[in-house]
Chains A and B, each alone.
Chain A
């Protein structure tokens, strides 16, 4: 082919592009109708809800348990007659531990399946990826995992703890135990980095010294250096925001370096019953965790939940905080819909304030202003049997404060 012909094709293609761009020029002014949400399809005798969890990839091990407990709640509600007389039909999608995939699947659930609400997401990155999708389509997401706060979307209900219901009580507990210095260890992503910023602000205001701060890439298993630094720092306690597999390597190194729960306790905020099982009880015995729920939490509601979960998925399956929060979120949505008398998103949001549910973790109340829920903070200690038992709780549900506005030391954070 000669140069001349090639150029002609090139020029032709360019003209095509220009023509297409001109022909397709969109509207600069957005009228209200075009960006209005897609109404949920509730014409039949069922109502669809979306389940958006990672069923493959690095997060699958945690998120599958959340999916299981959402399914349990749906089955319970359907057995009791459904919501507003309609049976719930779950539509599952795999977020694949990949944030743009979460956004794609969220859009699919809302626009193609026309679900009334979506339950799921775990990592903050996946939540940040789907947030614009839910806001654009005016659809509802129930997010069941503790997170770093500093967020409040009108189309997300946060049923896990925000920082003042988990991290701040954890720090309060350490302070009451006489800890004067801390060492911060975390995975390298948004939650640990933001959590550590909050921890440093707290420490400064409360006369605690932060002797070091180290991050390991997600999935890293190389903790020799970090444990040595932790050991030589001589800190009174370690605040651990590591996620996933890294915890296994960290706690093994920690033990082999001669550090124990008695000499230098570690407070973890991402280790629940499921993770204790995979890390190994011998490495974790006596260490502390901060959550709002444990499998051992007392109360009839929890006994019923644990029994139902084990009956459905197997006697060896533990229940954990994110699973409980996911289970609660389905029941809260049902209560909101029934109070509103409609599946309409705006009506459900309006009805949300003050909705209560006798949850396995104790009574929870939806705060309509922040769309978070009031929860009781609980510090637990890992026992020899792999279960976590409570050593302290806040006594009453703590009102959510995602931007930490009621804490003077947190003034510069948001």
Chain B
């Protein structure tokens, strides 16, 4: 008897995880080649081919891709439709931006916008710890993780799932935006924190330093991918998929599904926080417009387009969607939103497994079904050639 695994949220068939049939040594070899290829692409090819401006755009896309890696883990593997990742992205981004604003202002001084809108006599108490990089840097990751831990503990223990979890995530994103906008004097309101000049002593106006920020971002993304791969391939990864596909069965086996889900959710939040923190020096701005409901959904769209249950799918999807957005809006400033919508419809309708399934489609073997695309092409080529 065969049962098709169903996604608990959308009830779509979920692609089965990769079969560990090829043996460990081949796996290791393929992973190493993959990483080397990715590193060469990000560290050598892209900086050589792209102008400073395009490279800084790529840096921005890669930050979105980091969030996507986390969503791929929580949603693709864990079945938790995390529609509020903007909150964690924002916490990381604001923590970093607060530190950089304070560093720009100099010791003891207040950031420019606070003098303008806040009419405060001194720095608010909750801003003070962020003056120290030893507090601010860990906070960019730990703060989102702590919030995710508290929220996750409450939600998963109470067995809140599916649409209810998604709605709760969205509500959190909306609440955070309202909070930030209301406190204009201390958070910059709708403007957010803008005009960030320096990054730990490096002048961000300098293209050389912008390049350095890009390299840090590219390196961090590779590291996060390695971490995600490690988690997915471990016993924990198997357990996470098992919880996604049959939470009650896992419970009867003696595991606590709440803890399993919590770990993935907290890790995803940490990744989003790190992405937000690196986004700030790359783009020079963090604002409520980047962390609300709409950007939170856009993060998930990238993952869905790329293929949520795979390792590389979310990354490719996030970069592809962000790149398409830029390319389409530059070429067709008046109509690009329609074209982008069309693209989503086409992907969802014809490639429900996302862009990553293209690779699988091409590689499919003759296992009783239709031959794979590559094989078919090869066969046709053989027929045509004399």
Contact = CB atoms under 8 A, between A and B. Distances in A.
A193 B189 contact: yes
B202 A21 contact: no
Contacts of A93: 329-330, 333
B372 interface: no
Contacts of B195: 128, 131-132
A124 interface: yes
Interface in B15-36: 20, 24, 27-28, 31-32, 35
A132 B192 contact: no
Summarize B's interface: helix, strand, loop or mixed.
helix
A25 B287 contact: no
A27 interface: yes
Given A13-B222, A13-B225, A413-B119, 12 more contacts: A6-B234, A14-B223, A16-B222, A27-B202, A30-B203, A99-B285, A100-B289, A100-B290, A123-B190, A189-B181, A189-B189, A218-B190
Contacts of B27: 1, 5
Interface of B: 20, 24, 27-28, 31-32, 35, 39, 43, 51-53, 56-57, 60, 116-117, 119, 178, 181-182, 184, 189-192, 194-197, 201-203, 205-209, 211-212, 214-216, 218-220, 222-223, 225-227, 229-230, 233-234, 283-285, 287, 289-290, 326, 329-330, 333-334, 336-337
Contacts of A125: 190-192, 287, 289
A149 B345 CA distance: 44
A28 B202 contact: yes
Contacts of B203: 28, 30, 35
Interchain residue pairs A-B with the least CB separation, the first 10 = A17-B219, A26-B209, A6-B230, A24-B215, A13-B226, A189-B190, A1-B233, A26-B212, A94-B333, A132-B195
Of A55, A100, A131, most B-chain CB atoms within 10 Å = A100
A350 interface: no
Contacts of A13: 35, 219, 222-223, 225-226
Interface stretch (A104-112, A154-162, A292-300): A104-112
Contacts of A395: none
Contacts of A408: none
A27 B194 CA distance: 23
Nearest to A56: B337
Contact of B223 (A17, A133, A218): A17
A132 B194 contact: yes
Contact of A21 (B190, B201, B208, B219): B219
Given A99-B192, A189-B190, A26 B222 contact: no
B202 A9 contact: no
A150 interface: yes
A190 interface: yes
A111 B56 CA distance: 12
A100 B287 contact: yes
Given A112-B51, A129-B285, A131-B194, A10 B230 contact: yes
Contacts of B202: 26-28
A2 interface: yes
A79 interface: no
Interface residues of A, number: 63
Contacts of A85: none
Contact of A190 (B24, B52, B191): B191
B215 A34 contact: no
Summarize A's interface: helix, strand, loop or mixed.
helix
Contacts of B116: 150, 414
A20 B289 contact: no
21 contacts: A5-B24, A6-B230, A7-B230, A9-B35, A12-B35, A20-B218, A21-B215, A26-B212, A34-B208, A55-B334, A93-B329, A96-B329, A99-B285, A100-B287, A100-B290, A104-B60, A124-B191, A129-B191, A136-B205, A193-B117, A215-B182
Given A93-B329, A132-B194, A21 B57 contact: no
Contacts of A12: 32, 35, 226
Given A20-B43, A27-B209, A128-B191, A6 B233 contact: yes
Contacts of B35: 9, 12-13
Nearest to A113: B330
Nearest to A24: B215
Contacts of B178: 217
Contacts of A123: 190
Contact of A193 (B184, B208, B285, B289): B184
B207 A34 contact: yes
A5 B226 CA distance: 11
A108 B331 CA distance: 12
B226 A10 contact: yes
B9 to A, nearest CB: 28
Given A94-B329, A132-B194, A30 B206 contact: yes
A377 to B, nearest CB: 24
A98 interface: yes
Given A5-B28, A20-B216, A94-B336, A28 B51 contact: no
Contacts of B218: 20
A285 interface: no
A23 B215 contact: yes
B146 to A, nearest CB: 23
Given A2-B24, A112-B51, A27 B208 contact: yes
A241 B178 CA distance: 18
Contacts of B225: 13
Of B35, B212, B216, B225, most A-chain CB atoms within 10 Å = B212
A301 B39 CA distance: 61
A44 interface: no
Contacts of A6: 229-230, 233-234
A215 B184 CA distance: 12
Contacts of B60: 104
A79 B202 CA distance: 48
